[in-house]
Amino acid sequence: MKSTLSQRTINRLTQYYTILRDYSKKEIKNITSSQISQLLDIDETQVRKDIKSINCKGKCKVGYSVFELKSIIEDVLDYNVIKKVYVIGAGNLGVALSKYSKFSEFGLEIDGLFDCDKSKIGKFIDDKEIYDINQLSKKIKETGINIAILTTPNKVAQDICDFLVKSGIKYIWNFAPSILIVPKDVKVWHENLIGSFIQFCAIENIK
Amino acid sequence: MKSTLSQRTINRLTQYYTILRDYSKKEIKNITSSQISQLLDIDETQVRKDIKSINCKGKCKVGYSVFELKSIIEDVLDYNVIKKVYVIGAGNLGVALSKYSKFSEFGLEIDGLFDCDKSKIGKFIDDKEIYDINQLSKKIKETGINIAILTTPNKVAQDICDFLVKSGIKYIWNFAPSILIVPKDVKVWHENLIGSFIQFCAIENIK
């Protein structure tokens, strides 16, 4: 079902999920589309449409069951299916992403970092070890992990990308600000932080 | 014009721009929709449609002028209008974003970082100083900067957000994994890294 949802809908559902998680922790049982709408500054009709699209039904004057809506979003977006990944580059961005608490709540588990800097290798970021990049191929054979988050500087991104492909990585979530060239059987998702900011400026007419 | 473009179109245009910047540096004069399509794994018809939507015309068998297309995207997406921002939090994420080279190329200029950790205050990230968070209100009065990138941990995000609002910040690009509550005249853009990854998984059917 997930693949039939638009990027915008997926983005909004993850935001609803963040609220539902907070409500669930506070043991609040119900939530209305109006509450979600106000918290996220999203049109209420849109909220209702999104929730209807994943087949969750609310009750008049009561709203949605927090438990039910949370469970449905988890199912629809596969948050319960653990996806293990490696982070390539143990610089500020690699470390920040490894510490990003929200990832694990959404089924994304960082299994380790890789770097070529000998002063970093063997150290831990929380419970995640920094490995020697030369061990990547061996690690992939052991674990079967084939998703990498690339956080290296721009100037080495393509070289490291080539190395990842040779080592057996099939999916690359690329945070380096450059377009990577890969074989057809490897897929790259170019993270586009600046695109996100530019849209914010456009919507709010920031000059 | 920018505000009439969809988020997806803006995202794709920023990706085209990344390629055009590379071509421009290599002094390559023309680019075809087929080349862009292959590099980004985006349907060629979509590429042509996007470029037509910003009124750039190509020539048969030659393609688009790299200089012209690059200039038009710069104009349409206001890359030439400098938008100064402050980064709140000089942890790994704050430092990583401050060093992110792509931002300045797209008109986003980080004017400084703010933190409460006395061991960090007064230090520099490249040429950007880390200021005492208690100086924020004073700095805002001096510079008129009213955009903040929030990178603090989840548990203090709302408190820091309240402080930013009191200090005069009007636009918050929130990287903390929580929904912030703000007055109506303040706008928050919740960055949604995990939503981006989930869509990647959905499109590629990663399990």
Report the greatest alpha carbon distance in chain B: 61
Tell me: do A25 and A60 sit in the same domain.
yes
Q: How confident is the model at residue A86 (pLDDT cuts 50, 70, 90)?
A: very high
ipTM for this prediction: 0.81
Q: Nearest chain A Cα to B4, which residue?
A: A202
List the one residue out of A133, A142, A132, A126 whose CA is nearest residue A84: A142
Q: How confident is the model at residue B129 (pLDDT cuts 50, 70, 90)?
A: very high
- Model pLDDT, residue B1: 56
Q: Cβ–Cβ of A19/B103 closer than 8 Å?
A: no
Distance from CA of B91 to the nearest CA of A (A): 8
Q: Is the pTM of this model over 0.90?
A: no
Q: How confident is the model at residue B103 (pLDDT cuts 50, 70, 90)?
A: confident
User: Which of A76, A104, A131 is at the close of a domain?
Assistant: A76
* CA pair distance A200, B8, nearest whole angstrom: 13
Average pLDDT over residues B168-193: 90
Tell me: do A47 and A65 sit in the same domain.
yes
Answer whether residue B71 is part of any domain: yes
Q: Cβ–Cβ of A101/B200 closer than 8 Å?
A: no
User: Under a CB-based contact definition with an 8 Å cutoff, are residues B33 and B47 in contact?
Assistant: yes
Tell me: do B65 and B102 sit in the same domain.
no
- Model pLDDT, residue B152: 92
Q: What are phi and psi of A135, to 5 degrees?
A: -90, 0
- Model pLDDT, residue A177: 79
Tell me: do B91 and B190 sit in the same domain.
yes
Answer whether residue B93 is part of any domain: yes
* CA pair distance A163, A168, nearest whole angstrom: 9
Tell me: do A23 and A93 sit in the same domain.
no
Distance from CA of A195 to the nearest CA of B (A): 5
Q: How confident is the model at residue B174 (pLDDT cuts 50, 70, 90)?
A: very high
Question: In chain B, what residues touch A200 (CB-CB under 8 Å)?
Answer: 171, 173, 187, 189
A34: which residues sit within 8 A by CB, 6+ positions away? A44
Answer whether residue A203 is part of any domain: no
Question: In chain A, what residues touch B96 (CB-CB under 8 Å)?
Answer: 91-93, 96, 151
Q: How confident is the model at residue B3 (pLDDT cuts 50, 70, 90)?
A: low
Q: Who wins on pLDDT, B85 or A107?
A: B85
- Minimum mean pLDDT range among A29-33, A76-80, A147-151: A76-80
Answer whether residue A111 is part of any domain: yes
- Model pLDDT, residue B142: 97
Is a pLDDT exceeding 70 seen at residue A2?
no
For the beta sheet containing A83-88, the strands, ordered from the edge strand earlier in sequence to the opposite edge, are A124-125, A128-132, A108-115, A83-88, A147-150, A171-174, A187-190
User: Under a CB-based contact definition with an 8 Å cutoff, are residues B99 and B125 in contact?
Assistant: yes
Tell me: do A68 and A128 sit in the same domain.
no
User: Which of A55, A76, A97 is at the close of a domain?
Assistant: A76
Average pLDDT over residues A92-97: 94
Three-state SS at A130: strand
- What is the per-residue pLDDT across A156-189, written as a single tens digit (0 to 9) for each? 999 999 999 999 999 999 998 788 999 999 999 8
Residue B203: CB atoms within 10 A of its CB come to: 13
Q: Hey, of A39, A196, A207, which one would you mutate to test binding to chain B, going by the most B CBs within 10 A of its CB?
A: A196
Average pLDDT over residues A101-108: 81
Q: Who wins on pLDDT, B59 or B197?
A: B59
- CATH code at A25? 1.10.10.10
Answer whether residue A51 is part of any domain: yes
* CA pair distance A13, A51, nearest whole angstrom: 8
Answer whether residue B199 is part of any domain: no
Tell me: do A120 and A44 sit in the same domain.
no
Beta bridge partners of A59: A63
Give the per-residue SS3 of chain B: CHHHCCHHHHHHHHHHHHHHHHHHHCCCCEECHHHHHHHHCCCHHHHHHHHHHCCCCCECCCEEEHHHHHHHHHHHCCCCCCEEEEEECCCHHHHHHHHCHHHHHCCEEEEEEEECCCCCCCCEECCEEEEEHHHHHHHHHHHCCCEEEECCCHHHHHHHHHHHHHHCCCEEEECCCCCCCCCCCCEEEECCHHHHHHHHHHHHCCC
- Minimum mean pLDDT range among A114-123, B41-50, B101-110: B101-110
Question: In chain B, what residues touch A203 (CB-CB under 8 Å)?
Answer: 3
User: Under a CB-based contact definition with an 8 Å cutoff, are residues B1 and B74 in contact?
Assistant: no
Give me B136's structure tokens: 């924020």
Domains of chain B: total: 2
Q: How confident is the model at residue B200 (pLDDT cuts 50, 70, 90)?
A: confident
Tell me: do B71 and B17 sit in the same domain.
yes
User: Which of A35, A50, A76 is at the close of a domain?
Assistant: A76
Average pLDDT over residues B88-106: 89
Q: Who wins on pLDDT, B205 or A170?
A: A170
Range of the domain at B21: 2-76
The percentage of chain B sitting over the pLDDT mark of 70, rounded to a whole number, equals 98
Is a pLDDT exceeding 80 seen at residue B108?
yes
Q: Cβ–Cβ of A189/B205 closer than 8 Å?
A: no
Tell me: do A153 and A61 sit in the same domain.
no
Answer whether residue B55 is part of any domain: yes
Distance from CA of B5 to the nearest CA of A (A): 9
Out of B15, B92, B108, whose CB is closest to A190? B15
CA torsion A114-A115-A118-A119 (nearest 10°) is -90
Q: How confident is the model at residue B190 (pLDDT cuts 50, 70, 90)?
A: confident
Tell me: do A41 and A97 sit in the same domain.
no
Tell me: do B116 and B162 sit in the same domain.
yes
Answer whether residue B158 is part of any domain: yes
Tell me: do B183 and B152 sit in the same domain.
yes
Q: Nearest chain A Cα to B146, which residue?
A: A206
Q: Cβ–Cβ of B197/A101 closer than 8 Å?
A: no
Q: Cβ–Cβ of A203/B5 closer than 8 Å?
A: no
Query: Residue A131 class from Cβ within 10 Å (0-12 exposed, 13-18 middle, 19+ buried)?
Result: buried
Q: Cβ–Cβ of A102/B177 closer than 8 Å?
A: yes
- CATH code at A137? 3.40.50.720
